[in-house]
Structure 1
């Protein structure tokens, strides 16, 4: 905690102490008297070392603290090393607490799992591609500035300008980190470099006044009631200068590095080709699925699920008059070729997609009280993925709301290829990203009262993505996809996640090429080729993550079935969802313990 004291000066520390009624001893002691303070301290420390995270969380502004909004995160090897050391100390101290109640013991189990996972990653902390076609400073920075940085008064605007200047230092630190990886033989495949270069070159070739960093600021200033027009003109003039003098040169340095690196990159796509790559991939699977499943087990599960789901889809389409005797691939091509399932390939058509997504979400939000008691307080909205990055972005993603309610949850939809948004797939995607999927689960977790910060923000992907995929099925069970084609869309979505089990393990364990992965996914999903290419390239730079969805969904369904069988007439779907949602994200084996406790407690009430 001394690191926080140094970083924040006295002001932020005073805010923490005052806001939580925490004695100074509790903040700095190796073993605080309060178990809650001890649990929260590592993540609070990480948050206060991350100005961008503080901006995203949005809780300090209500205390009048805004200085962090003038700074950006930077890669720092010393801080990273200290973080691992701190977690080792945290893990050792966890076992020293005695006399914990049932909920505190659950918190300790979750914290132990998380700490052990972080410690296991340390030897392989450079086994990532931190700048790739999906994420990294090159697209994360402008997206963050557009979506997260609030401008309500002159101080906010000045902070925005400071962050335009800070890009130079941020990118420089990232370049130094990339060079460390290069020396260790951790270089992304050539196609990744090509994608990144295309994106960055397009970014710097955009006139400053058309750049998202400028246009986003124009919109923010227009909406800021406390900034007059004259001040706004001066702010925009300075922003244009900063983009030209700081932002574009920083991007040019990154472009120069990747241009030189391209000649040294290869065309082996799986992690198996990296030093210790096979061990790293097994660890990635454990981290993302929170299971001990082997790559071969996951691969075989995927093949089995692909076959089952394809059979269900063909049965439905056969009933709708399709000639399914031609096989799955040809049948899906027939479905995809029908123009009635697509919007107009115009800006008006894209605007209609966003409007219809919102209608779908409003409809289900108004009608699911029979399945859910707990509901998020935060609202949500549907927005388009920024055009500068949509070509290589996934089909959709969710962004959490601000803790103080100043920013709603956001479902970002990719509208680059109109053929990638068939009408029959829109409901299931909206349910996954929004209600009752990610928005329900993530916003509810963030709003849990009396729960440690760690449990409100826990990063267990199998639970988080498993819930969102489970939510798609719940929406269907509640009657929101009665149209046969909407149900096909749901099954196509589930098939997509089953195929991921096959291609992720295929690429990183069985040594498939990128092209083999694309070929398999095209043949077995019926997805648009642009989406397939984007997805396969995603799995290559994020090994293991794509397997978490189906593994998590299967586990939640297994636990629901177990509760239904054991409780019989006592089973209430609302109770089950309360149990799953009101504990935040957890590893799957701990989720099973939580459900088992719910079953036992429910039985005891008879």
Structure 2
């Protein structure tokens, strides 16, 4: 829930000022820069510059020839986490120097959003260790190879040498994380037994892989193969050094983690929810507040989910009846029968999986060409569809989006999980593409990054209820605009919405009502008709990421509520593209602030 602050030096101050925003050198040093946005940009740049991995991910220094950060890894010592909370207090003092009366409307909003985040960070200090840094979904052990494969670009020998430097520093990074794991162990914040079993199995498989087949080696080789006129001797040197680094540093670092979790496993229990941890009930409420940006209680969210599940299931049954599909056997069995129909699946081979990726791209290209009436603003960055790396497909979600780089060299990416071919029925593909790509995450995130005149915090900030709420709203919007080609596609859309409604039930069930992992799996399976592999992966995601899954439906319902409010109050003056401008042109915001922005739009249109 909180971003780490890292100490990293070696980049000139002049470059930092130039990339941090349009402010003069004296504003870099000033206790109170003339403009609030300059202060916010300065502090965000400082934070980013202390994290070499963040700099690599953002990708803006490489365009001016600076690459030294790509040889470093983040400082993950527990002390760094403590420094982050202290830094937040210092930033708050700086921000509060600016009186609202002296700020323009945009800067007032920037101040409000900043203080909202800082307040939450301060209230979260007590629960700073309530997480599982090594887990089956986004843990240290699978994030590192994913980061190296997807983020670390290799277009020169210098890049390759930096890659090897990072491989050799894995033992330090992993040992720093072990310190944090031991602090959590002392506090009895121990992952459920199944999480430990998952990560041990994953890491055992990782170190058992022959080095030349390991993604850390193979992805480097692939990148080297794409460099024109590369000296073959240099290529062999780099690959030999990478092989040695993996053998002597990477694999032993993973083995140290394996040994730790093997020893820890007897202390773990099969209970899955946060309620079992010291202070877990309050920590879960904090998580819900952060992810939904509301004060909704776990009980309210649980009951809301139950109501929505009933409504959406009824709509799906009505759609099935229109297709003359027999629903006499009840919802669950009917959905399972539909999912078992072979006509909706691709061939379970490499050609079939390649066709899935190609068809996803076609879907996205089609809708991108047909949205002019619904959007005044469009992202400049392109987007592409790629497969989730095979080494982590089994425990990854069905799909996810990766933002483009700031310098425009890397497009936005929709990562599709192709592990289980039965998890990709054709009637669900459009909805998933609209959510992860266009007009979902790619529109919202890429537009936010490209907005001019906003501080970096607002361009890159992420309020999950807003971002995921928009993506789920985008699914319904695409249907409303006529992009669902077949009746089955609407069933796929409704199933996706049902899935998010079920999340409200199972997330609160696990962490508030003390459901077991098996209870949650059974409920989701019975009420969605999803593939078993996806159900298990999803439930295990909610266990290690409490609260996050509730944000989708909460955010979508708020956006739809605000759109309906604008329609009712504006009548003929309502314009869909203008409404989307209001939602998208301010960057990610808490839902309460979004409501105020829409109310202001309504008032301005009424008096125009």
TM over 0.5, yes or no?
A: yes
Q: Which residue of 2 aligns with 1:67?
A: 68
Does the 8 Å CA contact 2:6/2:51 hold for their aligned counterparts? Answer: no
Does the 8 Å CA contact 2:448/2:584 hold for their aligned counterparts? Answer: yes
Q: Which residue of 2 aligns with 1:376?
A: 379
Q: Which residue of 2 aligns with 1:327?
A: 330
Deviation at residue 291 of structure 1 after TM alignment: 0.2
- Does 2:521 correspond to 1:518? yes
- Does 2:272 correspond to 1:269? yes
Secondary structure, aligned partner of 1:435: coil
- Does 2:599 correspond to 1:600? no
Deviation at residue 21 of structure 1 after TM alignment: 5.3
Q: Which residue of 2 aligns with 1:16?
A: 16
Q: Which of residues 185, 189, 192 in structure 1 aligns to 2:192?
A: 189
Listed one character per residue, the Cα deviations across residues 203-247 of structure 1 (whole Å, up to 9, x for unaligned) are 111100001011111111111236322211211111111111111
Aligned-residue CA RMSD (Å): 1.4
The 3 A distance-change label for structure 1 pair 7 and 144 is closer
Q: Higher mean Cα deviation, 470-479 or 82-91?
A: 82-91
Q: Which residue of 2 aligns with 1:296?
A: 299
Q: Distance in 1 between matches of 2:329 and 2:190?
A: 43
Q: Distance in 2 between matches of 1:542 and 1:79?
A: 22
Q: Which of residues 133, 138, 142 in structure 1 aligns to 2:136?
A: 133
Q: Which residue of 1 aligns with 2:562?
A: 559
Q: Which residue of 2 aligns with 1:310?
A: 313
Deviation at residue 39 of structure 1 after TM alignment: 1.7
Q: Which residue of 1 aligns with 2:475?
A: 472
Q: Which of residues 237, 243, 262 in structure 1 aligns to 2:246?
A: 243
Does the 8 Å CA contact 1:289/1:547 hold for their aligned counterparts? Answer: yes
Secondary structure, aligned partner of 1:323: coil
Does the 8 Å CA contact 2:141/2:254 hold for their aligned counterparts? Answer: yes
Does the 8 Å CA contact 1:42/1:87 hold for their aligned counterparts? Answer: no
Deviation at residue 317 of structure 1 after TM alignment: 0.5
Q: Distance in 2 between matches of 1:219 and 1:189?
A: 37
Deviating runs (4+, > 4 A) in structure 1? Answer: 3-6
Q: Which residue of 2 aligns with 1:254?
A: 257
Secondary structure, aligned partner of 2:535: helix
Deviation at residue 6 of structure 1 after TM alignment: 7.4
Deviation at residue 308 of structure 1 after TM alignment: 0.3
- Does 2:345 correspond to 1:342? yes
Q: Distance in 2 between matches of 1:338 and 1:476?
A: 23
Q: Higher mean Cα deviation, 527-536 or 237-246?
A: 237-246
Q: Which residue of 1 aligns with 2:164?
A: 161
Q: Distance in 1 between matches of 2:320 and 2:571?
A: 35
Deviation at residue 84 of structure 1 after TM alignment: 0.8
Q: Which residue of 2 aligns with 1:448?
A: 451
Q: How does 1:576-595 map to 2 (within 5 A)?
A: 576-595=579-598
Does the 8 Å CA contact 2:78/2:179 hold for their aligned counterparts? Answer: no
Q: TM-score, normalised by structure 1?
A: 0.97
- Does 2:573 correspond to 1:537? no
Q: Distance in 2 between matches of 1:259 and 1:205?
A: 16
Q: Distance in 2 between matches of 1:48 and 1:468?
A: 30
Q: Which residue of 1 aligns with 2:210?
A: 207
Deviation at residue 60 of structure 1 after TM alignment: 0.8
Q: Distance in 2 between matches of 1:239 and 1:276?
A: 44
Q: How does 1:59-98 map to 2 (within 5 A)?
A: 59-98=60-99
Does the 8 Å CA contact 1:284/1:545 hold for their aligned counterparts? Answer: yes
Q: Which residue of 2 aligns with 1:571?
A: 574
Q: Which residue of 2 aligns with 1:111?
A: 114
Secondary structure, aligned partner of 2:513: coil
Secondary structure, aligned partner of 1:412: strand
Does the 8 Å CA contact 2:504/2:550 hold for their aligned counterparts? Answer: yes
Listed one character per residue, the Cα deviations across residues 417-469 of structure 1 (whole Å, up to 9, x for unaligned) are 11111111000000000000001100110111121000001120000000000
Q: Which residue of 2 aligns with 1:385?
A: 388
- Does 2:398 correspond to 1:395? yes
Does the 8 Å CA contact 2:6/2:75 hold for their aligned counterparts? Answer: no
Unaligned runs of 5+ in 1: none
Q: Which residue of 1 aligns with 2:530?
A: 527
Q: Which residue of 2 aligns with 1:53?
A: 54
Secondary structure, aligned partner of 1:348: helix
Does the 8 Å CA contact 2:5/2:80 hold for their aligned counterparts? Answer: no
Deviation at residue 347 of structure 1 after TM alignment: 1.1
- Does 2:300 correspond to 1:278? no
Q: Which residue of 2 aligns with 1:225?
A: 228
Q: Which residue of 2 aligns with 1:547?
A: 550
Q: Distance in 1 between matches of 2:150 and 2:479?
A: 32
Does the 8 Å CA contact 1:284/1:544 hold for their aligned counterparts? Answer: yes
Does the 8 Å CA contact 1:390/1:416 hold for their aligned counterparts? Answer: yes
Q: Distance in 1 between matches of 2:17 and 2:76?
A: 28
Q: Distance in 1 between matches of 2:34 and 2:459?
A: 22
Does the 8 Å CA contact 1:270/1:507 hold for their aligned counterparts? Answer: yes
Q: Distance in 2 between matches of 1:398 and 1:459?
A: 13
Q: TM-score, normalised by structure 2?
A: 0.97
Deviation at residue 5 of structure 1 after TM alignment: 12
Secondary structure, aligned partner of 1:227: coil
- The number of equivalent residue pairs is 602
Q: Distance in 2 between matches of 1:284 and 1:42?
A: 25
Listed one character per residue, the Cα deviations across residues 61-107 of structure 1 (whole Å, up to 9, x for unaligned) are 12221110001113122222121112112223323212001111111
The 3 A distance-change label for structure 1 pair 286 and 588 is same
